[in-house]
Structure 1
Amino acid sequence: MKNLKLSPGICMTMILTLAFLFSGQAHAQTKEETTPPQTIEELKTAIEKVLKETETPAVGVALVNKEGPVWIAGLGKANVEKDVDANENTMFRIGSVSKMYVALAVLKLQEEGRLSLQDKVRDLAPEIEFTNRWEDTNPILVEHLLEHTTGWSDLHLTEFAHSDPTPVTLKEGLDFHPHSRTSRWIPGTRMAYCNSGPPVAAYIVGKITGQPFEEYVQSTFFDPMKMENMTYFASEAYKTLGASLYNNGKTVDYWHILMRPAGSINASPRDMAKMLEFFIHRGMVDSVQLISHASLKRMETTLTTTGAQAGLEIGYGLHNYSMPHKSFVYRGHDGGVDGGLTTFSYLPEHGAGHAIMINSGSRDALNRITKLVRDFQTRDFQAKEISTDSELSDGHTAISGFYRSINPRMQIFYFLERIMNVQRIWHKEDTLFRNGLPGGESIKYLPAEGHRFKSAKTGLVSMVQATDPLAGEVIHAGDLVLKRISMVQAYGPLILGALWLFLMLTSILYGLVWPIRWRRGKIKGKANIRVRLWPLLASLFILAIILMMLIWGNSLKLLGTVSFVSLVVMISTIGFAMASVWSVFLIITERSAPMKRRVYWHSAILSFLHLIVAGYLLWFGVIGIRLWA
């Protein structure tokens, strides 16, 4: 969903990601600058090539401009096993693009005077459980739900894992596991994508209108827009026309999302073309203004974060965010469910847009097709010339340094994100640069007025200095909120992590040899065995977690419920902590025992690194973690 983009990589292969990070081996996509397709036929051929190269079964495409549909099609196989071709009526799962209708419904009620974006959620729905310790001074407002600025963590894994084919009511979905709805910082200051905000807003819409949210959207938007099959449910039309879903070449089951407004819509390319026309014509459908131009403009504007208040011009509006492409800035939303990805984008100034839907979890395929479509769509548009009237002053260059993200999407994985999202900012001549550690593509900025920086590609203010009421001076760069740290804090975890992984690997490899040497009498004395064994056991517990994530890391059902996988992860974290403590105890007590010094120091360094990592994981609540809780 922005994807439930946490795509079942929500599961973020915990330790694997850490290993990837510490290794410093970021595998960047190879960029091929080619001439963009000039005709629909060339575009079709290029897309079919991507489908073949990425083994993506099918794609649904809708291209629209001010005059109407330019191209609506389905390519590839909607069902590989039954050899069913995709076409313009094939239904795909659009995931978090569904959230756009939550914002539209709220804006519609605001236009009718029945609701306001500034209304307090507690007043509108006191029966919905959430925790905000700043409620008296900084209550959660409706617009916070839509801009993801409540401060709530994203859904817990048990909510993602829920997939009951019998539809539950929205209230039942919200009551299922409300513990994730706790504000971690003052609402309306930082953005963190959260799939529970939209359902709360949808619940309020249903409460005000006296209709189930899905019925209200059907009568207020789907019917006037003449959507033929668009639906929140696994309808009869979907059972007939729906594309089968695939991950890594294997079919995946239909995901019955617990809170449907967050990401449950199924739609065809033909339906998506009508949705594009709605936004391109600024809310007008058949001479009827369903939503005002002013409401759509608000939907496309970020207002509630401290970054937006400091002048940030890109970011997440009301379930509608900016998507830069060269000098152009599309608006729209992405979506993702298990086995399906979507992007919905339009250029308000140029009256053009597209929807791309695939029945696969291949992010590479979607990105490549999206680039082809956007290159084709913008081929005749005049690119903006980017310049700046401001010089790079001492005030601008003073922000150079290292920064850590302080607005994690899922609190459960912040122990990784605070290392993964370390950013470096530096300047050269009149340009400022930002990239992540340990490397990667740099984003370029030009100085603007005050403490603002324009994207060198789009010319829009894309990074600003701001004051966070809790963290003090921060940087807002797109969706990131960054707090300055020292070079030691930036590189220290990388260096320690790399050393830890190396010593763990060698301990496991040595562990294959030691039993043989012991049986041959080459290793003597209990101390010799103990000093080797316990650090090795700690390493094996980490290996067990890695294997669980490698094999079952994409299974939300196994991670978000009490299962063999989630139990092994829980037990392994506890075992790792206990083995780490005991290893250090033995290293200290057996320091004078006769053994090769290189063996002792290898085990000693590894044991202390294990203990440091165990302490870090304990601090962040990872030791004994119950992924289903």
Structure 2
Amino acid sequence: MNHASLLSADLRARQVRRRALAVLLFVLFVFGAALGGPVEPAGHVLDESALVHATTAAPPIEVEAPPTLEQLQARVAAVLAREGVPGVGLALVDRNGVRWAGGVGVADRSTGAPVGPDTQFRVASITKSFVALGVMRLVEQGRLDLNRPLRELMPDVALGNDWDATSPITLAHALEHTAGFDEMRFNEYWGEDGAVPREALAINPRSRVARWRPGSRMSYSNPGYTLAGHAIELATGESYETFLEREVLRPLGMPTARFRRTDEYADRLATGYHEPDRPAEFRPIYHAPAGALLASPRELGQLVHFWLRRGETGGPAIVGPESLARIERTETLSYPGADNNYGLGNYGDVLHPARGRGHDGGLPGFLSCYRYFPELGVGYVMLLNSTHSLQAYLEIRALLFGYLTGGRTVVPPPPVEPDPGAIAALTGYYGYANPRVELFGFIERAMLGISVRPDPAGIDLRMLTGESVQMVSTGDGGFRHWREGGTSVRLTRGDDGRRILVGGMAYFEEGSYAWARARLLLLGAANILLQLAPVWALGWAVLAVIRRLRGRAIAAGEFALHAWPAAAGLAWGLLPLLFVHMARAEAYTTANPRSVGVCVGTVVFAACSAAAVAEVVRAGVARTVPLGLRLVPSAAAIAGFGMTLYLMFHGVIGLRIWAW
């Protein structure tokens, strides 16, 4: 879905892991300090969901194809130097095998060790691709059933589903992210090496409650793959790690890939970086089946080769052709998707001129990506040891594709003549309706919306915040950017008959443009007034001093009338700093000075806002302060109190993020 301009805001708003905290910062500072230019925590983190949106929401990058491997390496090195990224592991693959594997740059800045073909990276959510292969191997053996309700398969695991009688949650829902689950909670992020799925699933069952009917829409949720890891263990009687290493990794030709850090290969592990010179601490994750794998570019190249051969004679017989096709297909949704659909640990990518598939991954300090292009017979692996540069991620991908297809002209499929009547029936406003983290969903619902309008070639998509992009028709309600390799947006109807817009991980439902626009304008006005309150109070203080020097005293209540809105505005501006410090320290999993400080900060803002409104009422009743002096502080006080009620309704005021 090339929402390029459209979902650049979505990309910012959907960065969970510390990105989710940045999203809350987005409301507390975007609404409270910069609707037009949000402040991000230093070295903002891109994770797997953000990377999916990068490949589906960023404009396709056009580069001149490097004609030789040496020139490819040189141009990649130039990107790394410009973007401040230490290094990248690469593999170039065709149907004959891994054509070349190696690296550019360094694996560790302090030692200067170069990235090589066997340098190990945290590949994060690419782990899901191997879990899905393991599940399908067990399905072929009759030991697992994708469509069996999980409450029957694992009655010991808590699952919440108000639709259980008619739409029970199945293993297929968990693997396709269509169970309706929230994302993992903050106290589920980091654990100890060796935690088993059952232990991870016992920490916080609230992340496994269906928010809507299972199978009605997608929302990326890591706990679903921990459920899959637990299912593997129930079916085999052994750890999911042992099973996957024996049945999937080693047969693929991945001799050193593993799910936890060991001393044996410690010297091969790259150091990840939040920023050019700020290393990321290696912290094991509780939901290990969702993203714990360590692997090298050469080893992941074997996975790409496996997919290009698709079970041909002589290759590893992990699963058969029907299972491979099922992995690439979405079956739990009742409506047709786009070519960037999510299957089982595998999704489509149309950012290149040819349709590709694969998976991305992101953990603090590491970005990962593999793609294979069945129609072209080529693919690549890209593993970065930095999480601060989206431009490096997108540009190096484009260089790899250009090199692999340098001798061929790859053009996107021709557009289809649009059907004006069908498009007219689907025009209107669509609001965002599948937030990954429900706690922050109100932010995305307020900021993200798309108006669909007819265009001579197809449709024009205009974001609620003003950006727009034209898309050409691909038929049957599908559309794409003219440089994309396949359908990235589809306008259709959900299973309840409502008009929807879907593509990649995005799901929008028809709604009211007038209400959405009014809500955004009100929040923007509140933001401006809260920013203005301290400045106005400072100006009033200067004038008050001058008046006092001239022998004129300030009116009763005049100081409090200006001081409390100013205090609310200052608290509003302080909250982003508290969030930045908490996010940088990854201090959101426990009660500590940073996380408690954020909680207290929200309460202080609310208290100051309430006090400000009380002073406005008092001044209005007493009428001791001239109306002209009351207008701005009164408006700021009302804005602060309104924002307090808004945040309180959504559970932000007094938020104990470690216990959510």
- Given the two structures, how large is their TM-score scaled by the length of structure 2? 0.88
Cα pair 1:401 1:424 within 8 Å, conserved: yes
The CA distance in 2 between the partners of 1:26 and 1:331, in whole Å, is 32
Cα pair 1:545 1:568 within 8 Å, conserved: no
Cα pair 2:98 2:298 within 8 Å, conserved: no
Amino acid at match of 1:322: G
> How far off is 1:217 after superposition?
0.3
The CA distance in 1 between the partners of 2:489 and 2:578, in whole Å, is 39
- Among 551, 562, 566, the alignment partner of 2:595 is 566
> How far off is 1:475 after superposition?
2.5
Alignment of 1:299-310 (within 5 A): 299-306=327-334, 309-310=335-336
> Which residue of structure 1 lines up, in the alignment, with residue 47 of structure 2?
none
Alignment of 1:349-360 (within 5 A): 349-360=375-386
> Which residue of structure 1 lines up, in the alignment, with residue 149 of structure 2?
120
Q: Does 1:23 align with 2:35?
A: yes
> Which residue of structure 1 lines up, in the alignment, with residue 97 of structure 2?
68
Deviations 1:400-440 (A, max 9, x none): 23221111100011121112322222222232122433134
- Among 524, 534, 538, the alignment partner of 2:554 is 524
> Which residue of structure 2 lines up, in the alignment, with residue 479 of structure 1?
505
Q: Does 1:151 align with 2:180?
A: yes
The CA distance in 2 between the partners of 1:282 and 1:32, in whole Å, is 29
Unaligned 5+ runs, structure 2:
1-10, 40-56
The CA distance in 1 between the partners of 2:647 and 2:38, in whole Å, is 24
Q: Does 1:10 align with 2:30?
A: no
> Which residue of structure 1 lines up, in the alignment, with residue 656 of structure 2?
626
> Which residue of structure 1 lines up, in the alignment, with residue 611 of structure 2?
582
Cα pair 1:402 1:423 within 8 Å, conserved: yes
Provide closer, same or farther for how the CA distance between residues 247 and 87 of structure 1 changes in structure 2, counting only shifts above 3 A.
same
**Higher deviation after alignment, 31-40 or 118-127:** 31-40
Deviations 1:87-126 (A, max 9, x none): 1111111000001111111110111111121111111101
- Among 257, 280, 285, the alignment partner of 1:230 is 257
- Among 37, 40, 45, the alignment partner of 2:74 is 45
The CA distance in 1 between the partners of 2:213 and 2:475, in whole Å, is 28
Q: Does 1:501 align with 2:531?
A: no
> Which residue of structure 1 lines up, in the alignment, with residue 325 of structure 2?
297
**Higher deviation after alignment, 282-291 or 87-96:** 282-291
Deviations 1:260-288 (A, max 9, x none): 11101111111111121111111458444
After superposition, the CA RMSD in angstroms is: 2.6
- Among 265, 269, 291, the alignment partner of 1:242 is 269
- The 4+ residue runs of structure 1 with deviation greater than 6 A are 26-32
> Which residue of structure 2 lines up, in the alignment, with residue 334 of structure 1?
360
Cα pair 1:340 1:359 within 8 Å, conserved: yes
Alignment of 1:391-470 (within 5 A): 391-440=418-467, 442=469, 444-446=471-473, 448-449=475-476, 451-453=477-479, 456=482, 457-460=484-487, 462-469=489-496
Cα pair 1:145 1:198 within 8 Å, conserved: yes
> Which residue of structure 2 lines up, in the alignment, with residue 78 of structure 1?
107
Provide closer, same or farther for how the CA distance between residues 84 and 314 of structure 1 changes in structure 2, counting only shifts above 3 A.
closer
Cα pair 2:29 2:572 within 8 Å, conserved: no
Cα pair 2:60 2:351 within 8 Å, conserved: no
Provide closer, same or farther for how the CA distance between residues 36 and 406 of structure 1 changes in structure 2, counting only shifts above 3 A.
same
Deviations 1:349-384 (A, max 9, x none): 222111111111123322221121122223334435
The CA distance in 2 between the partners of 1:495 and 1:380, in whole Å, is 51
The CA distance in 1 between the partners of 2:416 and 2:626, in whole Å, is 67
> How far off is 1:453 after superposition?
4.2
Deviations 1:128-170 (A, max 9, x none): 111111111110011001000010100011112x233x42222
**Residue aligned with 1:432, SS:** strand
**Higher deviation after alignment, 358-367 or 581-590:** 581-590
Provide closer, same or farther for how the CA distance between residues 530 and 181 of structure 1 changes in structure 2, counting only shifts above 3 A.
same
**Residue aligned with 2:369, SS:** strand
Cα pair 2:254 2:299 within 8 Å, conserved: yes
> Which residue of structure 2 lines up, in the alignment, with residue 219 of structure 1?
246
> Which residue of structure 1 lines up, in the alignment, with residue 308 of structure 2?
280
Provide closer, same or farther for how the CA distance between residues 74 and 593 of structure 1 changes in structure 2, counting only shifts above 3 A.
same
Cα pair 1:5 1:336 within 8 Å, conserved: no
> How far off is 1:42 after superposition?
1.1
Cα pair 2:416 2:472 within 8 Å, conserved: no
The CA distance in 2 between the partners of 1:228 and 1:566, in whole Å, is 41
The CA distance in 2 between the partners of 1:54 and 1:455, in whole Å, is 27
Q: Does 1:96 align with 2:125?
A: yes
Q: Does 1:251 align with 2:261?
A: no
- Among 241, 266, 270, the alignment partner of 2:294 is 266
The CA distance in 1 between the partners of 2:62 and 2:235, in whole Å, is 51
> How far off is 1:485 after superposition?
2.6
> Which residue of structure 1 lines up, in the alignment, with residue 203 of structure 2?
176
> How far off is 1:492 after superposition?
1.8
Task: State how many pairs are aligned.
Answer: 621
Q: Does 1:613 align with 2:643?
A: yes
The CA distance in 2 between the partners of 1:29 and 1:479, in whole Å, is 14
Cα pair 1:40 1:71 within 8 Å, conserved: no
Provide closer, same or farther for how the CA distance between residues 285 and 40 of structure 1 changes in structure 2, counting only shifts above 3 A.
farther
The CA distance in 1 between the partners of 2:559 and 2:351, in whole Å, is 59
Provide closer, same or farther for how the CA distance between residues 509 and 16 of structure 1 changes in structure 2, counting only shifts above 3 A.
farther
- Among 393, 403, 419, the alignment partner of 1:376 is 403
Q: Percent identity of the aligned residues?
A: 26
**Residue aligned with 1:335, SS:** strand
Cα pair 1:310 1:464 within 8 Å, conserved: no
Cα pair 1:229 1:237 within 8 Å, conserved: no
- Given the two structures, how large is their TM-score scaled by the length of structure 1? 0.92
Cα pair 2:127 2:293 within 8 Å, conserved: yes
The CA distance in 1 between the partners of 2:459 and 2:615, in whole Å, is 51
The CA distance in 1 between the partners of 2:61 and 2:377, in whole Å, is 28
Provide closer, same or farther for how the CA distance between residues 20 and 435 of structure 1 changes in structure 2, counting only shifts above 3 A.
farther
The CA distance in 2 between the partners of 1:33 and 1:523, in whole Å, is 67
Deviations 1:495-540 (A, max 9, x none): 2233222222222223445555555637613411121122122222
The CA distance in 2 between the partners of 1:133 and 1:620, in whole Å, is 21
**Higher deviation after alignment, 52-61 or 66-75:** 66-75
Provide closer, same or farther for how the CA distance between residues 216 and 514 of structure 1 changes in structure 2, counting only shifts above 3 A.
same
**Higher deviation after alignment, 518-527 or 177-186:** 518-527
Q: Does 1:206 align with 2:233?
A: yes
Q: Does 1:187 align with 2:217?
A: no
> Which residue of structure 1 lines up, in the alignment, with residue 54 of structure 2?
none
The CA distance in 2 between the partners of 1:117 and 1:523, in whole Å, is 78
Amino acid at match of 2:322: A
> How far off is 1:184 after superposition?
0.3
> How far off is 1:257 after superposition?
0.7
Unaligned 5+ runs, structure 1:
none
> How far off is 1:32 after superposition?
7.1
**Residue aligned with 1:344, SS:** strand
**Residue aligned with 2:536, SS:** helix
Provide closer, same or farther for how the CA distance between residues 612 and 394 of structure 1 changes in structure 2, counting only shifts above 3 A.
farther
> Which residue of structure 2 lines up, in the alignment, with residue 36 of structure 1?
65
Alignment of 1:122-141 (within 5 A): 122-141=151-170
> Which residue of structure 1 lines up, in the alignment, with residue 7 of structure 2?
none
> Which residue of structure 1 lines up, in the alignment, with residue 44 of structure 2?
none
> Which residue of structure 1 lines up, in the alignment, with residue 53 of structure 2?
none
Cα pair 1:9 1:554 within 8 Å, conserved: no
**Residue aligned with 1:575, SS:** helix
